[in-house]
Structure 1
Amino acid sequence: MYVTAVMANSTFQLIEDCNATNRALYKFYAAIMIVIFILALPLNASVLHLFIVKLKFWKSNTNNVFLFNLVLADILLLICLPIKAHNFIQGERRSGNEVVCKGMLFMLFLNRGASIAFLTVTSVDRYFNVVHPGRKNFLRALKKSPLISILIWLLLLPLTIPTMLKNFDCCNSHKNGDPKDDTLIKDVVDSMREAVFFTQIVIPFVILVYCTVHIVKRLRMKTVGNTTKLRRAVFLVTSVMVVFSFCFLPCTIARMVLLIARVEEWPEYRQDKAAVAFDGLMVLSYMDCLLDPLVYCFCSTKFKSLYLTNYFPCLVKDTAIPPDSSTGNTQNCTRTNVI
């Protein structure tokens, strides 16, 4: 009994100190993050170059302003991955340096929130263009300028405040740790932090489901005329839904299970398993940086053609460029067809 108590206490101490109880598994997590970083950094850098040099997104009448901010958020998120991978290799769930730890929390929360926000805004904009094509909306008025993008970044900044008040990168929330630390202020901070985590994912997911259902319904109602734009809209919102569901919903469910484990005071070894599962599914959420380029392709035929022409010319042949079916633009351009 004494040995069991000592082992439980030891495991609990490891959880509190943010040390990985399964170092081999955390090294595997680190390897996944390194692979994501190696693949996603050049991919997103090339997309960023295309938006700035070729598409000149600030002059665009399409979703390119939103997509530029999406790729910018992905690149900023990628910067955190080598540091996170280094911590995991060292058997730590977070950096022992207070400044680095809080900086990482700030970057991860801000840029993941921005990525989710711009994915959602892109789908909402496509929803208005397809379901309510003749109705004026604030997105259509502001998407030609950086105003709405700046507003989104500014609104996300206050949401990172709860993450900076107290370290929680090791899942230390609600009745986890010394009972003497369970004060009203700590409970309020913990609740705010968890509210930010869940609302960043749940609310956008509900919006995406709504947009997807209505765009698909609109496509089914279309009996005459050109349905290319509608089909592309369906592909877009469906791809966003797939990316969102694959990357963000699993870690949300894991976080919910972990909170239940904390509040109901499950045995420490079960709490540790829940924390390890949550860490792993958070690593899965970083796959978003690799999957977002699919959204760019579904958003614009012109983007896809330009990307292949500039970076993979061996895969294309030169003909006349199609108008961008995502915008209905009919001006003449150069076409690139995939071989």
Structure 2
Amino acid sequence: MENISAAPYEPTEACRAANRALYNFYATVTIVIFTLALPLNASVLHLFIFKLRFWKLNTNNIFLFNLVLADVLLLFCLPMKAYNFTNGYRRSVNEVLCKATLFMLFLNRGASIAFLTVTSIDRYFSVVHPGRKNLVKALKKFPEISILIWLLLPPLTIPTMVTNFECCNTHKHEKHDTLIKDVLDSMREVVFFTQVLVPFVILTYCTVHIINRLRRRTVGDTAKLRRAVFLVMSVMVVFSFCFLPCAVARMVLLVVKVQELSESEQEKAVVAFDGLMVLSFMDCLLDPLVYCFCSTKFKTLYFSNYFPFLVKRPSIPLNSSVGKTMQPVCSNAT
């Protein structure tokens, strides 16, 4: 029986890097992101499990923990992407590894967007409609909703693995193409754009209404409203910086491929798409912004555990009661 997992294929010209120097730069950026994100996400994961014990807290912490898991999935793909770029290929020359990497990238993207969106929607209902019964509040009582989200993601990601396709030749019709291939290609693109554009519209709606709520609020806990604004704005930053540019580049790439423009224009579109795809890897570095703005307890605990020198400690009065005040200060520090 032929060993499929070890059988490389001869990559076509569409899979080769058009500009080796530029792709070496992409590889360097990918390695830098991996080097910075690995200890960051490892420390966050350690904090959620051993310090916060997220399963005993509210559902928001469970959502944030799953967001960490999504970032960890992305980290597994980055060394492979950097290796391919360095060797002058846009993807692995092993078909199984290529499809597995695409599956993990799509799964990470879907999970990150899903949990970021759910967190923002929850904050929207808590601030704008605090007393209204809604589906999100009902679901928050069941932490298993996170498991349901993970179970729904693979069926949307399977099309990246069940069909052979060139690196960027989706919808570039050939004579031997079948209806099934066309359907799978279309499904992949629909999933790609839907999981970015629809949540972005939802996040924009939540952000605008939370900001309007803060402006109309004259009395009450404005600090809570400001934290909510910071949260949704941080999510918008992640979307606008990581996901939207990649989606726009993908749209341009499809237009160029379908219209069968000149080869130089296609290469420019491919290079731009790959570069913005590398930029999307930054979400594993920006997601900690969401953790900090979503939970002041998490921010305080993180800095006190990993960067204690940045935490301001209460000053000790220089008077006769210094001996009395020293003990509670030390006990609070521990």
TM-score of the aligned structures, taking structure 2 as reference length: 0.88
5+ long unaligned stretches in structure 2? 1-10, 315-330
1:297 to 266, 277, 292: 292
Query: Following TM superposition, by how much is the alpha carbon of 1:188 offset from its aligned partner in structure 2, in angstroms?
Result: 1.2
Aligned to 2:119: 122
2:258 to 242, 259, 263: 263
Query: Following TM superposition, by how much is the alpha carbon of 1:317 offset from its aligned partner in structure 2, in angstroms?
Result: 3.3
> 1:290 and 1:146 mapped to 2: Cα distance?
25
Task: Note if 1:14 corresponds to 2:9.
Answer: no
Secondary structure of 1:160's partner? helix
Aligned to 2:328: none
Q: In the alignment, is the contact (CA less than 8 A) between 1:29 and 1:283 conserved in 2? A: yes
Query: Following TM superposition, by how much is the alpha carbon of 1:76 offset from its aligned partner in structure 2, in angstroms?
Result: 1.0
Task: Note if 1:66 corresponds to 2:63.
Answer: yes
Aligned to 1:216: 211
> 2:59 and 2:25 mapped to 1: Cα distance?
40
> 2:138 and 2:195 mapped to 1: Cα distance?
25
Q: In the alignment, is the contact (CA less than 8 A) between 2:124 and 2:206 conserved in 1? A: yes
> 1:335 and 1:44 mapped to 2: Cα distance?
27
Aligned to 1:149: 146
Identity between Structure 1 and Structure 2 (%): 75
Tell me how many residue pairs correspond in the alignment. 308
1:252 to 234, 240, 247: 247
Please tell me the residue identity of whatever aligns with 2:225: L
Please tell me the residue identity of whatever aligns with 2:47: L
Q: In the alignment, is the contact (CA less than 8 A) between 1:66 and 1:143 conserved in 2? A: no
> 1:93 and 1:180 mapped to 2: Cα distance?
25
Please tell me the residue identity of whatever aligns with 1:30: A
Distance 1:281 1:64, change over 3 A: same
Aligned to 2:198: 203
Task: Note if 1:313 corresponds to 2:308.
Answer: yes
> 2:175 and 2:165 mapped to 1: Cα distance?
17
Please tell me the residue identity of whatever aligns with 1:294: L
> 1:123 and 1:226 mapped to 2: Cα distance?
19
Query: Following TM superposition, by how much is the alpha carbon of 1:105 offset from its aligned partner in structure 2, in angstroms?
Result: 1.0
5+ long unaligned stretches in structure 1? 1-11, 320-333
Q: In the alignment, is the contact (CA less than 8 A) between 2:59 and 2:143 conserved in 1? A: no
Task: Note if 1:57 corresponds to 2:54.
Answer: yes
Q: Deviations over 1:85-105 (max 9, x none)?
A: 000000011111121111111
Q: Deviations over 1:164-222 (max 9, x none)?
A: 1224471121125xx22333222211111100100010011011001001111111111
1:27 to 24, 37, 43: 24
Q: In the alignment, is the contact (CA less than 8 A) between 1:93 and 1:169 conserved in 2? A: no
Q: In the alignment, is the contact (CA less than 8 A) between 2:156 and 2:191 conserved in 1? A: yes
Aligned to 2:36: 39
Q: In the alignment, is the contact (CA less than 8 A) between 1:73 and 1:114 conserved in 2? A: yes
